[in-house]
Structure 1
Amino acid sequence: MTSYFKKYVTALASAKDYVAQWSSDHVYADEALIVPFPTLAIFDPTKHVWSVNIKAWLYLPFEGKKLKSYLPSLPSFITRKPNETTNEDTTKIDADDKLCASVPTEENNKIDEQNGETSDDDDMYEDALEDALNEQTENPGRLGLFFVGNSVKIVTKSIINGVEHLLQPSDESGFIEQQLDLPDKEISSLCTQIQPGCDDKKFEYEIQVNDSKIENQSKPFKCIIYVLAPHGVSVISDIDDTIKITKVLSKRSLLKHTFYSYFKPVDGMSELYRKWSEQKCQFHYVSASPWQLYPALRCFLEKYKYPMGTMNLRKFTWSLKFLKPPDTYKNEIITQIINAYPLRKYICVGDSGELDPEIYSKLYETFPDNIAHIFIRDICSDPECLPACHERYVKVFENVPKERWTVFKDPSQAETNINKLIV
């Protein structure tokens, strides 16, 4: 039997063939779509300016060969055919649900904890998945965002406080990343409080394609920049298997939960984060998941009432790189966050599925005055593994004071009083 790994490699090869047909002079849809990402502004006290990090992904809906013809090459657990014909009413999902990955229920998203398989009820959404993949709309399906046309050297502009700032052209994959320096006085006039009585603030900006040849300019897309106070508490949180069930230990389940299955939250984590948020904590989500998942992840956070914050995801390429351990990437991103606000206290939250304990313990050794506490959600369900897991934690956190780290299975076991955590 062909392994799922081989099927995945086949899918990658097919995808590369699909992407290869694009060229700069190909006919695309009329309007480029932009996905801006929420980022941090960093204050430079010597110059009294804020460095605003503009980060976005620009793509063009493709009007060529339909992706549907490539679906058979994808792993069967992503795009399998339903065994039985379902009623048309049960297979229709509105555009928002396709993008947001919908809200799983007992009836439509039962997951077998033993083998990672979904129930038969999951099959009835296959038709809706194909619809989402083939739609060339502003709300493409989650998997469809991995097969869109990326523009080359398209110039964009950001609009901040009514002033247009011309940005550098996007790279070959459609990514835009640039820093703009804005005076402290201007930023102060733009910002609003994130919460009443909170010194942490935010402001909204717009970004759109800049093309003087276009008679009717493309519409702007809005995003948030977070402007935090020098002192305060931030939560740095992983996503997969920390707040969202992904099962990263199984590559088969990882691909399925990434590309197909409805996002399912980890019970109790939203409640824990909201309690911390009520105490004026700010959140930074750091994950090795690809940027193309941001629209669905944003909607996931909103639907399950997680506090919003900055989002740091990894650049996706059609290779096996995104399956590699994320320790280097996550270490770099978290280091940038802490260096941007070196006087704040940080609570790091992750899980035992991959390398979060190792990543956070090394970061603690580098930033012992900043990292107030480390929380690790233990995802092991085999009682026989308990001694090995315990030994791992003791070894990993040998240079971290015992009162600075907590391993839990139930989020209700985690300390909710921020003052106790940062003392």
Structure 2
Amino acid sequence: MGYGNQGLIYLKGGVLENRPEFETKASDKRRRNFRIMLSRYLSSPIPEMDVQIILGKENFTTQTDEFGYFSVWVEPEHSFEPGWHKAIYVINDDDKEIYRTRGEFLIVGQEAEFGTISDIDDTILVSHATQLFKKLRLIMTKNAKTRLPFEGVSEFYQKLRSKGNPFFYVSSSEWNLYEFLQDFFRIRKIPKGPFLLQEYKSGLRDLLFTGGGSHQHKQDKINRLMTLFPKLKFILIGDSGQRDTEIYRQALHEFPNRILAVYIRKIGKKDDFDQKTSQEFEEKGVPLLLLENTEEAFVHAKKMGFIKA
């Protein structure tokens, strides 16, 4: 799922071989779930592959990088109305079409009151990201139909989405998990929005340490969204298990008057923000809340007028 404004659109995709289709059921056994998750990290990327992109009546061409992925900004001659639109991706070999698939991209319009940028693991999806063995047990033995969201997330996010307010999901999960996340969000009725994930990884070790790293890419992608939509203010949602508060604090300073509120789900033993962080948000007039549950965020958002009764 790409995204953009009425003059500039960002699209991303990958070309892989040995990539099976991932049809899962709630009744799938642990062994099958393990095989499917493993195969997500053992597919082979195809570098230097030309990809044709069709948006409406316009055509664009890009090429995959050494990891089999492409990231491209396109400037269509005609603008698209706000909302979701279809993108067609085509691979040709000697001028013969050998593969075609479709994707979507979101155009954010002027009618949006604000946008929401949300983390995924331990913010929406129960992941135990800070507890290695619990995390691996969930990843290896369950699938998109049996993993669970935190209570109330779907209803809260649906309320924030009203009036065309866009959602963006910035996560340290890898692109390997794209289909899993897409399926999970659809089943749990969480608002559709572009995923901004870590780069594709390959190998068993990468599966074992999925979601790790410096998380600096989150900051880079938040900066990209803030720059692409310069008039749009944002609500930021994350958790205390990783570096979300620190990342959002950087955004607070780099993009003044652009953040409406920050909601941080309490994970583990972290009881409070340090005094310096709380003071910085307070001085900027931005509410920073450490939450035990989704209901607390719902009540605050209603009080602030972000959602209606």
TM above 0.5? yes
Shift in Å, 1:229: 2.0
- In the TM superposition, 1:155-174 aligns within 5 A as 155-167=50-62, 169-174=63-68
From 247, 265, 282, the equivalent of 1:377 is 265
- Aligned equivalents of 1:54, 1:95: Cα separation in 2: 23
Instruction: Answer whether contact 1:276 1:418 (CA < 8 A) is retained.
Output: no
Structure 1 residue 420 and structure 2 residue 301: aligned?
A: no
1:274–1:418: structure 2 CA closer, same or farther, 3 Å change rule?
farther
| Correspondent of 2:116 among 228, 231, 235 | 235
Check whether the contact 2:124–2:149 (CA below 8 A) recurs between aligned residues: yes
What is the DSSP-based 3-state SS (H/G/I as helix, E as strand, rest coil) of the residue aligned with 2:267? coil
Cα displacement (A) at 1:369: 0.6
| CA–CA distance in structure 2, aligned partners of residues 370 and 296 of structure 1 | 31
Specify which of 347, 360, 371 is matched with residue 248 of structure 2.
360
The structure with the largest strand share of the pair is 2
Report what 1:220 is aligned to: 100
User: Match of 1:301, SS?
Assistant: helix
Contact residue 347 and residue 372 of structure 1 kept, 8 A: yes
Hey, what does 2:287 align to over in structure 1? 404
Letter in 2 for 1:340: L
The match for 2:191 among 297, 307, 311 is 307
In the other structure, the counterpart of 1:119 is none
1:53 aligns with 2:10: yes
Name the CA distance, whole Å, in 2 between partners of 1:364 and 1:62: 40
**Larger Rg belongs to:** 1
Q: Residue 325 of structure 1 contacts residue 355 of structure 1 at CA under 8 Å; is this kept in 2?
A: no
What is the distance in 1 between the residues matched to 2:29 and 2:201?
A: 27
Corresponding residue number in structure 1 for 2:2: 39
Q: Contact 2:5–2:109 at 8 Å: present in 1 too?
A: no
- Structure-2 residue corresponding to 1:86: none
The answer as to 2:69 corresponding to 1:175 is yes
The normalised TM-score by structure 1 is 0.64
Task: Please say which of residues 298-307 and 355-364 is displaced more in the overlay.
Answer: 355-364
The answer to whether residue 207 in structure 2 is matched with residue 327 in structure 1 is: no
Q: Superposition pairs for residues 127-138 of structure 1, below 5 Å?
A: 127-129=31-33, 133=35
Q: What secondary structure, in the 3-state scheme, does the structure 2 residue paired with 1:398 have?
A: helix
The match for 1:96 among 16, 19, 23 is 23
**What is the identity, as a one-letter code, of the residue corresponding to 1:292?**
N
* Amino acid corresponding to residue 226 of structure 1 in structure 2: L
- Alignment partners' CA distance in 1, 2:193 and 2:69: 20
Q: Which amino acid aligns with 2:221?
A: I
- CA distance in 2: counterparts of 1:340 and 1:327, whole angstroms: 21
Q: Deviations over 1:223-275 (max 9, x none)?
A: 11111124631000000000001111112233333344332211111111011
1:164-222 residue CA offsets vs partner (Å, 9 max, x unmatched): 3222x212221011222112xx223xx3xxxxxxxx423111102122354xx234211
Q: Which residue of 2 aligns with 1:343?
A: 231
Residue number in structure 1 paired with 2:129? 248
Conservation of the 8 A alpha-carbon contact between 2:15 and 2:69: yes
Identity among equivalent positions (%) equals 20
8 Å contact from structure 1 (residues 287, 314) kept in 2: yes
Name the SS of the counterpart of 2:79 in structure 1: helix
- Give the alignment's Cα RMSD to 1 decimal: 2.6
State the TM-score, normalized to the length of structure 2. 0.86
**Correspondence for 2:158:** 274
1:15 maps to which residue?
none
User: C-alpha separation between the residues in 2 aligned to 1:250 and 1:174?
Assistant: 31
Q: How many residues align?
A: 295
Which segment drifts farther, 144-153 or 239-248? 144-153
Matches of 2:5 and 2:240 in 1, distance apart?
31
Pair 1:404–1:159, CA change in 2 (3 A)? same
The one of 65, 83, 91 aligned to 1:201 = 83
- The separation in 2 between residues aligned to 1:203 and 1:249, in whole angstroms, is 37
After superposition, the Cα gap between the structure-2 partners of 1:237 and 1:175, relative to the gap in structure 1 and judged at 3 Å, is same
Unaligned runs of 5+ in 2: none
Q: Is the 8 A contact 2:33 2:140 kept in 1?
A: no
Give the conservation status (yes or no) of the 8 Å contact 1:235–1:284. yes
**Change over 3 Å in CA distance of 1:125–1:322 after alignment to 2:** closer
Q: Which amino acid aligns with 1:40?
A: Y
Distance 1:208 1:260, change over 3 A: farther
**In 1, distance between residues paired with 2:278 and 2:218?**
18
Deviates more, 1:241-250 or 1:260-269: 260-269
- Paired letter, 1:411: T
Q: Distance in 2 between matches of 1:378 and 1:147?
A: 34
Deviation at 1:62, TM superposition (A): 6.8
Which runs of no fewer than 5 residues in structure 1 stay unpaired? 1-37, 44-49, 64-93, 103-107, 109-123, 134-140, 192-199
Cα distance change of structure 1 residues 229 and 393 upon mapping to structure 2, 3 Å threshold: farther
Q: Which residue of 1 aligns with 2:79?
A: 187
Q: 1:157 to 1:396 in 2, by over 3 A?
A: same
Q: 1:162 to 1:170 in 2, by over 3 A?
A: same
